[in-house]
A and B are shown apart, each in its own frame.
Chain A
């Protein structure tokens, strides 16, 4: 009795995500590409190794479920950056993706958990209007050069159309609670840094543009995913 292929895809996605996150955390201290690669490989082996008859990633997946395409795009970029030195994502694109995720989470989760009779999650079951809206958002993002958002949305629709994961619902390819939490945390952090930068500028008599560039540039964490 072999598992469905979408379960294998979901399991590998979780294993790679955990391995990449582990390597990225170690990389903060070592900053060496080789170390990143070895840690990622070791963590991947641990996640796919058998623990009590199941891969370790299966226990993580028992809690998180399958990760969305959005999470996997960010993980793939972090992996490429750690292993091959890919350039960092532009702050504008990343902020736009984070804003999209936070907006989607606010729209989706309270109602899906029972707030009222309308459940936006229902739209994800192949509602043509919803699919069209996500496609339109992808195209609009491309036109205004938010390529990260455009590519992520397009890949999510493609993965959903081909049934890559166990979910039949497009929402699950766009967002998951892990990436929603990351996006909310990153946006709150960015807003905090902007506010702090402005306050310092006021106190020091400096004049800054109304962007977060002055403050976040000084923080190396913003150069990493």
Chain B
């Protein structure tokens, strides 16, 4: 006669069965993890114009709002789509992520549309979301467009996490949001700002940063379906923010980081890889000045690196384009795109500020800004009323080289608008030919 197993033995058998099932399922899942991959070879671009070309425009047009953190991606038909966030103030509940498209045929930016709202995000994520920020687009290897952006449920930006949405129609419509889990402690705090790069196996590397307790850069490896495959630390301590990747070859790249530390002098941080991102050198200060402000860059097909940054101490009132022809060891200033250093040494009155802002706006884009009065008033509200004393700000640049060789740099113009500067390598060459080009810094 068979003896019935006791409940205790049955439970033990069930536990063993679960372990066996977990071994099978866990092994299968681990086996799906793609092996380490090098950077994809940089895409070929062909300059369609040998004539120097330099144009400035405003991308955004909403008056009286705070506008910040623009980014770019090239669409499949050669147009360029920009993203930024705007609202009554940074971090407010009414902040939305907007998008607009630049048509190279008409040389105009179209009207801005709303890409993502806070309410959409919190309903899709089924969790409260208090604020949005820092949209960064990415072209996945399968051709879909992804938009990564920062969301905060509790606290300030240090409590951020990254949310992603996907578009199969070049940004006209977006999927339900997906939150990337990148930290075990309440998923704080991972933020995004730098442009992603593709790896040879078609996965994506997204440069991100952490700013709760420590300030350091990291790389997230993301699959075509948006899953996080791996993460890697670029720095530690309390100094490095907002890394960008400058990929020279499948094996060689450097990462530049915004200086977020206390020790003087404030300088851009650099770390390098020679083995396709498997290992990175110890982060070190460069000679590039940085007033705790974002940097951006691209590598041209001829190997030159072009970087846009606020290369001054103190404020973000000067924005320069710098170029390196030797892999980031030495830099030369190609152009100073914005320079309002003079304002630091004057009584920072709003009348003087408004008059200069008006002229700057009119010079930038007379078609959109007219005589610049409305733009100057928007700038005054952001830079004289909501803060004191008045100050100019040209910050958060984002560079993109299109497949036709045009280079766009978009950036925050006095926290009020997004400005686009478009040029080509012929213009850059001409700038660098000048005998008076200063060695940086």
Name B23's closest neighbour in chain A (CB-CB).
A135
Q: Which of B9-35 contact A (CB under 8 A)?
A: 11-12, 15-16, 18-19, 21-23, 25-33
- Looking at B127, B129, B181, the one whose CB has the most chain A CB atoms below 10 A away is B127
The reply on A83 being an interface residue by CB < 8 A is no
Tell me, rounded to whole Å, the shortest Cβ–Cβ distance linking B93 to chain A.
12
Whether B32 pairs with A126 at a CB distance below 8 angstroms is yes
Kindly state the separation between the CA atoms of A3 and B227 in the bound complex, as whole angstroms: 16
Shortest distance between the CB of B273 and any CB in chain A (Å): 14
Answer yes or no: B169 CB below 8 A from chain A CBs.
no
**A-chain residues with CB within 8 Å of residue B126 when the two chains form the complex:** 3, 7-8, 10-11, 54-55, 58, 61
Known contacts A112-B183, A113-B185, A169-B228, A7 near B19 by CB under 8 Å = no
- Which residue in chain B gives the minimum CB-CB distance to A59? B128
Q: How far is the CB of A41 from chain B (nearest CB, A)?
A: 21
Interface residues of B in 105-134 (CB under 8 A from A): 119-120, 122-129
Query: How distant is B119 from chain A, measured CB to nearest CB, in Å?
Result: 7
Q: Does A121 contact B (CB under 8 A)?
A: yes
A31 to chain B, nearest CB (A): 25
Q: Is B274 part of the contact surface with A, judged by Cβ < 8 Å?
A: no
- B172 CB, min distance to chain A CBs, angstroms: 14
* Most chain B CB atoms below 10 A, which of A8, A108, A127, A138: A138
By DSSP majority rule, is chain B's interface helix, strand, loop, or mixed? Answer: mixed
What's the Cα separation between A160 and B26 when bound, in Å? 8
B176 touches A113 (CB 8 A): no
Cross-chain contact B184 with A142 (CB below 8 angstroms): no
| A58 CA to B26 CA, complexed, in Å | 29
Q: Return the contact of A3 from the options B31, B176, B216, B237 (Cβ within 8 A).
A: B176
User: What size tier do the contact residues of chain A reach?
Assistant: 35 or more
Contact of A168 among B120, B228, B233 (CB under 8 A): B228
Q: A61-B126, A161-B26 are in contact. Are A168 and B229 (CB under 8 A)?
A: yes
Q: Which residue of A lies closest to B161 (CB)?
A: A65
Asked if A122 and B30 sit within 8 Å, CB to CB, the answer is no
Least CB separation from B220: chain A residue: A125
Q: In the bound complex, how far is the Cα of B176 from the Cα of A183, in angstroms?
A: 36
Interface residue B175 (Cβ < 8 Å from any Cβ of A): yes
Q: Residue on A with the closest CB to B234?
A: A117
Q: What's the interface size class on B, roughly?
A: 35 or more
A175 CA / B125 CA spacing, docked (Å): 21
Interface string of B170-203 (1 = CB under 8 A from A): 0000011011010111110000000000000000
A171 within 8 A of B: yes
**Shortest Cβ distance from A112 into B: residue:** B184
Of residues 36 through 91 on chain A, the ones whose CB sits less than 8 Å from some CB of chain B are 53-55, 58-59, 61-65
B200 vs chain A, min Cβ distance (A): 19
Q: Mark B145-160, 1 if CB is under 8 A from A, else 0.
A: 0000000011000000
CB pair A3 B179 closer than 8 Å = no
Known: A64-B186, A113-B185, A114-B213. A53 touches B233 (CB 8 A): no
Least distance between B106 CB and chain A CB atoms (Å):
32
Are B178's CB and A153's CB within 8 A? no
Is B236 a contact of A147 with CB atoms below 8 Å?
A: no
Question: A121-B183, A172-B181, A177-B186 are contacts. A126–B229 as well, Cβ < 8 Å?
Answer: yes
Contacts of B227 on A, CB cut-off 8 Å? 168
Q: Are A58 and B127 in contact (CB under 8 A)?
A: yes
Is there a chain A Cβ closer than 8 Å to B232's Cβ? Answer: yes
The answer, yes or no, to whether B304 is at the interface (CB within 8 Å) is no
Contacts of B185 in A (CB 8 A): 109, 112-113, 177
Q: Does B230 contact A (CB under 8 A)?
A: yes
Q: Does A139 contact B (CB under 8 A)?
A: yes
What residue of chain A has the Cβ atom nearest to residue B173's Cβ?
A1
Contact check, B128 vs A126: say whether CB atoms are below 8 A apart: no
With a cutoff of 8 Å between Cβ atoms, the chain A residues found around residue B175 in the complex are 1
Q: Please determine whether B29 and A151 come into contact, CB atoms closer than 8 angstroms.
A: no
Q: Does A188 contact B (CB under 8 A)?
A: no
Q: How far is the CA of A125 from the CA of B232 in the complex (A)?
A: 11
- Cross-chain contact B19 with A135 (CB below 8 angstroms): yes
Contacting pair B22 A62 (CB below 8 A): no
A59 to chain B, nearest CB (A): 5
Q: How many Å lie between the Cα of A45 and that of B421 in the bound state?
A: 55
Is B22 within 8 A of A155, CB to CB? yes
- Check B186–A154 contact: CB distance below 8 A: no
B193-241 residues with Cβ-Cβ distance < 8 A to A are 210, 212-216, 227-233, 235-237
Find out whether the CB atom of A166 lies under 8 angstroms from the CB atom of B178. yes
Contact between B129 and A150 (Cβ–Cβ < 8 Å)?
no
> Which residues from chain B sit less than 8 Å from chain A, CB to CB?
11-12, 15-16, 18-19, 21-23, 25-33, 119-120, 122-129, 153-154, 175-176, 178-179, 181, 183-187, 210, 212-216, 227-233, 235-237
Q: 23 A-B residue contacts at CB 8 Å?
A: A3-B176, A10-B126, A11-B126, A58-B126, A61-B126, A62-B122, A62-B127, A65-B187, A112-B183, A113-B185, A113-B210, A114-B210, A114-B214, A117-B233, A125-B33, A126-B29, A128-B27, A139-B19, A142-B15, A154-B19, A157-B23, A162-B25, A166-B179
List 7 additional A-B contacts (Cβ < 8 Å) besides A7-B126, A154-B15.
A63-B153, A117-B233, A117-B235, A127-B33, A131-B26, A161-B28, A172-B184
Which residues of chain A have a CB within 8 Å of any CB of chain B?
A: 1-4, 7-8, 10-11, 53-55, 58-59, 61-65, 108-109, 112-119, 121-122, 124-128, 131, 134-135, 138-139, 142, 145, 147, 150-151, 153-155, 157-158, 160-162, 166-169, 171-172, 175-177
